[in-house]
Every structure is written in structure tokens, then in C-alpha cells.
Structure 1
Amino acid sequence: MSAVLDVVATVCLLLGSFLAFTAGLGLLHFPDVLTRLHAATKPQVTGLLLVLVGAAIRLAGTPAMWVLLLVALLQVLTAPLSAHMVSRIAYRRRHVRRDLLVVDEVAEHAGGGADPGLRGD
């Protein structure tokens, strides 16, 4: 059973590392803030969670598992919120390539392209 758990942990660690690597490549490759945020949140969080699962399998029964659980919980809670706030600020300051947007719901609701949820400069 230990050999099977070692293989599962290794696969999780390698797959998580690959996803984190692709997130880094996406940050370098994509053209604007919104697509870079997609690369920074989706595969990076999934990659980190896979690495944490692999580490948890290897560290089963130790107090370090609680730290891994806390890291996973904080990452899952903070990554989407921070990406949302960064995207709102980028949209408001016009750092978004609007030619790449398929639907611009914020401009439709605001009537002119400004984000009504953010005030001031």
C-alpha cells in the first residue's frame, strides 16, 4: 500500500508542478491583465492544491498536515478575491484590451465603461 501512495503522491506533485509552470508561462505569454489573471489563478491554485495533496499523502499523520490544510484554505479563499479586485482596478484604469472582450457587461451596466463599484483615483 505504501508503494501505491508513493506513486499517487509523486503524480500529484508532478502534475501540480506542471500546472504551476504553465501558470508562469501564461503570465509571460498572454497580452493583457484579464488573461494574465486567468493564468495566475486557475492553473496556479489547482497546481498548488495538487502539490499540497501530494505532500499531505507523504506527511500523513504528522502535525504538518494542519498547516497544509490552512495553506490550501487560504489560497482557495484569497486567490479569486484578489484576482477580482485586480481585474476591477485594471478595467477602471483602462489597462484592459477592450478589442479582446467578447462581452463587456460592466460597460453595459455603467453606460459608459466606468466601473461604478470603484470610486476615486
Structure 2
Amino acid sequence: MTATEWVIIILLSVGTFFSLSAGIGLIRFPDVYSRLHATGKNATASVILIMTSTFVYFLYEHDLFIGKLLLTILFVFLTTPVAALLISRSAYRIGIPMSKKSVRDEMKPYYDNEKASPAKNE
């Protein structure tokens, strides 16, 4: 096997591991916040690694430069963490409770201040 094939195998293996971890985290974690953390981080890493290995495969094995794969990597890298953040903030704002196992609520001071101060609609 060539070094390129080893790079492809390693990228696919690590990407598969992250994807599997995201699935397990989605099933096992107790609340929406920890589930979003697991899926946001691991799914982003897995898609980036798998798309990179696909890009390397087609580039070195078939001499094809597929820019759509690079755009997919960029799009996933930019949108998935932002989507996870916005979903978790929305869940917090509508009052979805955290797990009883959670040790601290770092967002509470920010949203307490927001509720206490009057809205500025000027």
C-alpha cells in the first residue's frame, strides 16, 4: 500500500470513530445541551475527515479535483457549530431544563440580567 492509501484509511477510520461517538452521545447523554455538544463537535469532525479522505482519494487515485468536496467541508465547518449554538440557546430561552447531573449553569447570569433590564425598542 502507498502512503496516500494509508492517509485515506486513517482519515476514514478517525472520521468513522467520531461519527460513531456522535451517535452514541446522542443516545446516551441525558439532556438536549449535552446531546447538542456531542453531535455538534463529533459530527463536524467526522464529516470533515470523511470528506477530506474522499477528496484525497479522488485527487490521487483518479486525478480529479472535486471542489464541491472542499466546499462541503467549509460549509459544514461553518454551519454545524453555529446551528448547535443557536438550538441550545433557543432551548435555554424557552426553559428546557438541564440534567440533574449538571453541576453549573453558566448562562443563568446572562439571562437573569436580560430579564431584569427593560427592552430597548428605541
* TM-score (structure 1 length as normaliser): 0.82
The two structures, once aligned, show a CA RMSD in angstroms of: 2.2
Q: Would the aligned equivalents of 1:106 and 1:113 in 2 still touch at CA under 8 Å?
A: no
| CA distance, structure 1, for counterparts of residue 39 and residue 89 of structure 2 | 16
Unaligned runs of 5+ in 1: 117-121
> Which residue matches 2:53?
54
> Kindly tell me: are residues 101 and 108 of structure 1, through their superposed partners in 2, closer, same or farther at Cα, counting changes over 3 Å?
farther
Alignment check: 8 A CA contact 1:19 1:43 kept:
yes
Deviation at 1:44, TM superposition (A): 1.1
Give the counterpart letter for 2:41 in structure 1.
K
Deviations 1:60-82 (A, max 9, x none): 14142x01110001101111111
Structure 2 matches for 1:35-50, cutoff 5 A? 35-50=34-49
Tell me the amino acid that sits aligned with residue 27 of structure 2.
Answer: L
- CA apart distance, 1:112: 7.2
Query: Letter of the aligned partner of 1:4 in structure 2?
Result: A
Instruction: Determine helix, strand or coil for the equivalent of 1:96.
Output: coil
Aligned match of 1:20? 19
Contact conserved, 2:52 with 2:73, CA < 8 A, in 1? Answer: no
Percent of pairs with identical residues: 30
- How far the C-alpha of 1:96 sits from its partner, in A, is 2.9
Alpha carbons 2:55, 2:65 under 8 Å: kept? no
AA paired with 2:70?
L
Match in the other structure for 2:120: none
On the 8 A contact 1:18/1:47 being kept in 2, the answer is yes
Q: 2:109: which partner in 1?
A: 108
| AA at the equivalent of 2:64 | T
4+ long deviations beyond 2 Å: 98-106, 109-114
Number of residue pairs aligned between Structure 1 and Structure 2: 113
2:93 matched residue in structure 1: 92
Once structures 1 and 2 are overlaid, which stretch shifts more, 81-90 or 91-100? 91-100
Equivalence for 1:81: 82
Contact 1:13/1:50, CA 8 A, preserved across alignment: yes
Q: Is 1:107–1:113's contact at 8 Å kept on the other side of the alignment?
A: no
